Amino acid sequence: MPLDVARIKKDFPILARTVRNEHPLVYLDSAATSQKPVAVMKAESDFYSQHNAAVHRGAHLLAEEATDAYEGAREAVARFIGAKSDEVIFTKSATESLNLLAYSWGNAPSNSRFHLAPGDVIVLSEAEHHANLIPWQELARRSGAILRWFGVDDEGRIDLSNIDSIIDSRTKIVAITHQSNVTGAITPLTSIVAAARSHNALIVLDACQSAPHFAIDVKELEVDFLAFSGHKMVGPTGIGILWGREELLAEMPPFLFGGSMVTAVTMEGASYAAPPKRFEAGVPNMAQAVGLHAAIDYLNAVGMGQIHEHEVALTEYALSGLSSIAGVGIVGPTEIKDRGGVLSFTVEGIHPHDVGQGLDDLGIAVRTGHHCAWPLMKRMGVVATTRASLYLYNEKSDVDALLLGIEKVQSFFGSKGIGR
């Protein structure tokens, strides 16, 4: 059954507003952040108006309710990705989740399996978002470990041809994106996971662009850690998720230190709580966790399978539309196979920033620039791209607006002798 997008749109009040010159908003920037349904805003607001108290502390009713709500959110996330509750750590963002790993492992003593010695190898890909690149660069710098990475082909797909020389016996960590936020390419995980497993390397998956768009089960993925952000999956900002295998989390040293993450404290030292608390120092982002729970309920009610099918069909439609405009070049896979609804493109002779400005003038919100993936841009041979990204509340008419918008931008600049 196709998604009833008209109905879904009604759940997102912002999509009903007009922008520049009274144009109805055409929101095509969900890869940066998604819009929020009323249910999410209401959950956050209800938390503040009815249940607000510091979780895991306080002997009063509100503290109990707040704790239940917060832990309920953790359970919802766990069910969403096929994990156990205690394996889910709340952070402020995927960026923090990835930094948590890099700092925790950087703190690991030399007898720990997480310890990195000079010459150990961290494997990445050229397609990484800076959030899954720089924390590892810094960890390598601090530990003496070496970075290696998979290249990508001309369509931005990860090139596995030299996998045996990239993942070898020195490889301790493989940190890789599930789906590129620039090209939409989905990473061929099976062989990467198999190679990493055979060398006993830890596998970290950046699921920022996948978890919001299709059903994920950590058991099936067979990775060790997963990071994603609530705000890209119709949830609030300020809440991120780190999932890790129970037995691995149990051995990891903490990253942030403070209240709520201890079992005992003296003036000389402290002992640390079991996960997930060990990794959640301080009063957490409670209302945001509760909002995320509502977001997950919302996505589940629509159905992750349905959302995925909808996006595949819409992406296919957008791909064929974009390729039929003369002068438009897709930066990323041109076929629907193993790609998501992130569409980067260039318009011949017109800088992406100018394309984005022209589209904005028509009420169409896209992203322009390097998308926090500078090395990938370089590899793809572009300084910047224009990026349209799709989600459950987009429909064909949004794509049509984009396609028409691009043609209008071409004719505006074309009439001034710019572009074609």
Ligand X SMILES: Cc1ncc(COP(=O)(O)O)c(C=O)c1O
Quick one: 66 or 239, whose CB is closer to ligand X?
239
Quick one: 303 or 375, whose CB is closer to other proteins?
375
Let me know how many helices (H) and strands (E) the chain has, helices first.
14, 17
Distances in Å between the alpha carbon of 396 and those of 28, 34, 153? 12, 18, 30
Of the residues 170, 374, 404, 414, which one makes contact with other proteins according to CB under 8 A: 374
Give min distance, CB of 346 to other proteins, in A.
13
Give the per-residue contact string, 380-399, with other proteins (x = CB under 8 A; - = no).
Answer: ---xx---------------
Q: Which 3 state secondary structure label does DSSP give 165?
A: helix
Of the residues 10, 199, 379, 408, which one makes contact with other proteins according to CB under 8 A: 408
Cβ atoms of residues 248 and 236 within 8 Å: no
Cβ atoms of residues 128 and 352 within 8 Å: no
Cα(169)–Cα(285) distance, integer angstroms: 40
Of the residues 18, 200, 357, 397, which one makes contact with other proteins according to CB under 8 A: 357
- Which partner in ligand X, other proteins, none is near 177 (CB below 5 to 8 A by kind)? ligand X
177 sits near ligand X (criterion: CB under 6 A): yes
Of the listed 88, 208, 242, 372, which one is catalytic?
Answer: 372
Is 372 annotated as catalytic? yes
Of the residues 163, 362, 364, 399, which one makes contact with other proteins according to CB under 8 A: 362
Cα(372)–Cα(387) distance, integer angstroms: 12
- DSSP-assigned letters across all residues of 253-292: PPSS-STTSEEEE-SS-EEEPPTTGGG--SS--HHHHHHH
Of the residues 229, 288, 385, 410, which one makes contact with ligand X according to CB under 6 A: 229
361 sits near other proteins (criterion: CB under 8 A): yes
Of the residues 87, 224, 354, 395, which one makes contact with other proteins according to CB under 8 A: 354
Give the per-residue contact string, 346-365, with ligand X (x = CB under 6 A; - = no).
Answer: --------------------
Q: Which residues in the 203-222 window bind ligand X by CB under 6 A?
A: 206, 208-209
Stretch that binds other proteins, among 48-56, 94-102, 233-241, 349-357 (CB under 8 A): 349-357
Quick one: 91 or 410, whose CB is closer to ligand X?
91
Cβ atoms of residues 217 and 81 within 8 Å: yes
Give min distance, CB of 100 to ligand X, in A.
12
Q: Which residues in the 92-151 window bind ligand X by CB under 6 A?
A: 93-95, 129, 131-132
Give the per-residue contact string, 363-402, with ligand X (x = CB under 6 A; - = no).
Answer: ---------x------------------------------
At position 117, the amino acid (one-letter code) is A
- Which partner in ligand X, other proteins, none is near 408 (CB below 5 to 8 A by kind)? other proteins
Place of tokens 């090139």: 159
CB burial of residue 317 (10 Å; 0-12, 13-18, 19+): middle
Give the phi and the psi of residue 112 in degrees, each rounded to 5. -90, 150
Q: Please enumerate, as own/partner, the contacts of 43-46 that have beta carbons within 8 Å and a separation of 24 or more.
A: 43/290, 43/291, 43/293, 43/294, 44/236, 44/287, 44/288, 44/290, 44/291, 44/294, 46/290
At position 395, the amino acid (one-letter code) is E
Of the residues 92, 197, 370, 379, which one makes contact with other proteins according to CB under 8 A: 370
Cα(47)–Cα(37) distance, integer angstroms: 16
Quick one: 206 or 354, whose CB is closer to ligand X?
206
Q: Please enumerate, as own/partner, the contacts of 321-326 that have beta carbons within 8 Å and a separation of 24 or more.
A: 321/399, 321/400, 321/402, 321/403, 322/403, 322/406, 325/403, 325/406, 325/407, 325/410, 326/420
Q: Which parts of this chain interact with other proteins (CB under 8 A)? A: 20-21, 351-354, 357-358, 361-362, 368-370, 374, 377, 383-384, 408, 412-413, 416-418
Q: Which parts of this chain interact with ligand X (CB under 6 A)? A: 93-95, 129, 131-132, 177, 181, 206, 208-209, 229, 231, 240, 372
Q: Which residues are catalytic?
A: 372
